[in-house]
Amino acid sequence: MLIRDDAFTADMEFRLDTVEGGVVAIVDGETVALFRGADLETLSEHLTLQDAADNSYTPDVPTPMIHGTDGADSLTGTAADEAIYAHLGADTVLAGAGNDTVSGGYGADDLRGQDGNDSLLGGAQDDRLDGGAGNDSLLGEDGNDRLSDRSGADLLDGGAGNDLLIATDDPASTAADTLLGGAGDDTLIGDLLDTMTGGEGADAFTTGYTSAGDSAPEVVVVTDFTVGTDRLVLEDVPADAVISIIDRDLGAVVRVNGADAFRLHGVAASDITLDMITVTPATAP
């Protein structure tokens, strides 16, 4: 794709933006071309600027940007690495493949990273963020948000509000996730090798047995368990399981049938009682 203009120079700021019906090329803040029906990925790979003297410049195209409106938008990304800004309204974003950055803005948004190492930012109100495949970073910010990511080594940060964070991976995965509840009464659900920090509020920390049901718990680390405020939840526990609490160098360890389930940093075993632990029995196959 060739764009020709007498005034082009190699040091001009150039970017591509999506608009209704296509893509615009912008040079130093001025729209110089509209490509109807085009997509960002194709233009980013096949674009040349040329001045009147036939001097050609291949612009250093920054991350393509997709912008929503002040209404309820449905935005879909491509296989390129993109920055997607939904702005106001209750928006739905499917980022597609690539390492994308998605900002929901103000509104109850549904943001899905899909493939790639994505960064999702919910913004105000009650948002739903799903990282998809890859090593993702999810930030709920304000509102009662639902953050989930079931693949890769991910960061889930609920921010303010009563949030639900889910980072349960495939049983064969050894990817370690980090879950940060933030302010509010949060529920954090993780599995093998995950680290959980509830933050302010009355938080619930949850882990369970592996899908095999007869091997070992999905041990997680809890960095800030507050006795008398927070709770521990053990899911899919066999009916005949024995739960015990012991001390280690970094703090108390909750064990199921002699295997570690929770490692509670900075808490003594003598401060943990069984009534602080909610046990959900395993269901029959």
Q: What is the pLDDT of residues 144-178, one digit of tens each?
A: 999 999 899 999 999 999 999 999 987 777 789 99
Token readout for 27 is 């040079």
Residues 6+ apart with CB under 8 A from 71: 88, 89
Least confident residue range of 25-39, 99-113, 176-190, 266-280: 25-39
Could you list the residue range(s) of the whole structural domain that residue 18 is in?
2-57
Residues ≥6 apart with Cβ < 8 Å to 189 = 164, 165, 166, 167, 168, 206, 207
Strand partners, 200: none
How many domains does the chain contain in total?
1
- What pLDDT does residue 34 have? 65
Beta pairing, strands 259-265 & 251-256 = antiparallel
CA–CA separation, 138 vs 157, rounded Å? Answer: 6
Q: 9-48 pLDDT, tens per residue?
A: 555 566 677 777 777 777 777 776 666 666 666 665 555 5
Does the residue 45 lie in any domain? Answer: yes
Q: pLDDT tens-digit profile of 206-252? A: 998 653 334 455 689 999 999 999 999 999 888 888 999 999 999 99
* Domain-located, residue 10: yes
11 assigned to some structural domain: yes
Helix, strand or coil for residue 264? Answer: strand
In a domain, 139, yes or no: no
63 three-state secondary structure: coil
